[in-house]
Each structure stands twice: as structure tokens, then as C-alpha cells.
Amino acid sequence: MLHVVFHPYHEDWLLASAYTIPDDFKNHDNYQKFEQLFVSFDRGENWTKIFDYVHLYDWGNDKEIKNSLIPLNRIILIYNKSLSNEKREYQCIYSDDFFKSHLIIADNISILQYEYPYLIYHNLRDSIS
């Protein structure tokens, strides 16, 4: 796992990312490495993949900024929606059901900085003349 994020209230819940690994490197000439997002509800004993091409991710709640209107299982992430390493088209989304469904926060963005709870980005669509 590359980066593990502990849930601020549920000590058994974890988010973590890992790169894809092909079974046999020799037979994967066009192999593209990308990050996948996983969730665990038992301190990392079992993991479930919930998203691909992830760039940044975090729980949607924080102990210092508790908001009772935000569900405790909210996850916010930025991913490459082109699903390719060749083209980078980032989208910021969130989910309250571990990405069975999701809503878009910002589309076609260039990430400038992320410091919870703030995401500073530039909308690429707005900059095209």
C-alpha cells in the first residue's frame, strides 16, 4: 500500500492506495501502471477495491472540523477520468456509499494544492479561450 488514511472516528476503517501489478511483466507490453483505492473495515486485514486511476483521496470528515451534515462514510477523491496514463483529465468526486454511486464536485481540473478540508484547483475549461 502506498498511502494509508485512518478514519477520524472509526478506528477500524482505512483507505489505502496501491499500484496495479500485472501477473507477468513479460507478457504486458502495453501495461499502464495506475493507482487503485481500497477500503478496509477491520484495520487492514481485508481490503476491497473501490476505485481506479486515483490521484488524491481522503475521508470527507475530520475530527477538527466535525460536521454532522456530512455522513461519516463520505470519501472525496480526485481521479483521472480519461482512465489512461497518456491523457490527464482530473475530476473531483465524492461518495457516501463507497463508490457504488458518486457526485461530481469539479470537472476538468488541474490540482494546485490539497490541504484538508481545502482543495485549490484550476478549472481547465474556464481557461480555454
Q: What does each of the 129 residues of the chain score in pLDDT, given as a tens digit? A: 678 999 999 999 999 999 876 555 555 555 556 789 999 999 999 999 999 989 889 998 877 766 678 898 999 999 988 877 677 788 999 999 999 999 998 888 876 555 655 556 566 554 433
Q: How far apart are CA 80 and CA 111, in angstroms?
A: 11
- What is the secondary structure of 61-89 as a DSSP string? --STT--TTS-TT-EEEEEETT-SSSS--
| pTM for this entry | 0.77
Question: Residues with Cβ < 8 Å from 24, sequence gap 6 or more?
Answer: none
Q: How far apart are the first and last CA of the chain?
A: 41
- Cβ-based burial of 21 (10 A; exposed 0-12, middle 13-18, buried ≥19): exposed
Per-residue CA distances from 7 to 29, 54, 90 (Å): 38, 18, 24
Q: How far apart are CA 95 and CA 4, in angstroms?
A: 18
